[in-house]
Structure 1
Amino acid sequence: MITKYIAAVTTRFNPFKKPSKTCRVFLAHLPADARMKMKINTTVLGRDSQEPSFLKLTFKDGKEMQLDTEKLKINDVVVEVDRHSRTLNRVADLEPL
């Protein structure tokens, strides 16, 4: 997963529910130095909370992507993130030095 172009990550999940697995695995896929390179905001809900889990990404070009992790699996999330990151990578490669 290309995380170079992610500026901020916001997650909210209940760790005791099965649909929150996507958020937890996404956070585990971030590199070790991610907190120095991007803003990460994580909200862990209580055991009895009925709020749905979600993942919101902000890229360095300003695009925001809000993903419903109740319906998406981790592979789907990685594909969506990589799709936009590859576009930003191409634009960066084409810019003159």
Structure 2
Amino acid sequence: MTEVSTAFNPFSPRAKTARLFLSFFPADARQRIKMTTKILPRASKDRSFVQVKFNDGKEMKLDAEKLGIKGIIEEVDRHSRSLNRANELNGN
């Protein structure tokens, strides 16, 4: 991953997925990955999301409220594994 962007209302229980996703990153991740977080106002009706950009240029914008943490992790892992396989096949 090269970039991670999130947006959520910290006062909403539906923001849990986006917050959990961010908590999975180690403390030094900001040195390697550009991370952006947008805090929505308390009265905001906007949905929480997680947007991820990978080394190959692929971007995913995932609805954090709809997918849940398990769904987001599965989507991100699926593409990461395919990138790792391609790197192994190319000898990198």
Q: Please state whether the residue corresponding to 1:72 is helix, strand or coil.
A: helix
When the two chains are superposed, the root-mean-square deviation of aligned CA atoms in Å is 1.0
TM-score (norm 2): 0.94
Structure 1 spans left out of the alignment, 5+ residues: 1-5
Matched residue, 2:16: 21
Q: Deviations over 1:3-53 (max 9, x none)?
A: xxx110011000111111000000000122110111001011121222211
2:54 is equivalent to residue 59 of structure 1: yes
TM-score (norm 1): 0.89
2:76 is equivalent to residue 81 of structure 1: yes
Structure 2 spans left out of the alignment, 5+ residues: none
The CA deviation at 1:96 is 2.9
Equivalent pairs, count: 92
Measured in 2, the distance between the counterparts of 1:72 and 1:79 equals 10
Aligned equivalent of 1:49, options 44, 47, 58: 44
Measured in 1, the distance between the counterparts of 2:77 and 2:25 equals 13
Question: Which runs of at least 4 in structure 1 moved beyond 4 Å after TM superposition?
Answer: none
Q: Deviations over 1:38-69 (max 9, x none)?
A: 10010111212222111110001000001001
- Identity fraction in percent: 50
The CA deviation at 1:76 is 0.8
- Of the structure 1 ranges 46-55 and 22-31, higher mean CA displacement relative to structure 2 is found in 46-55
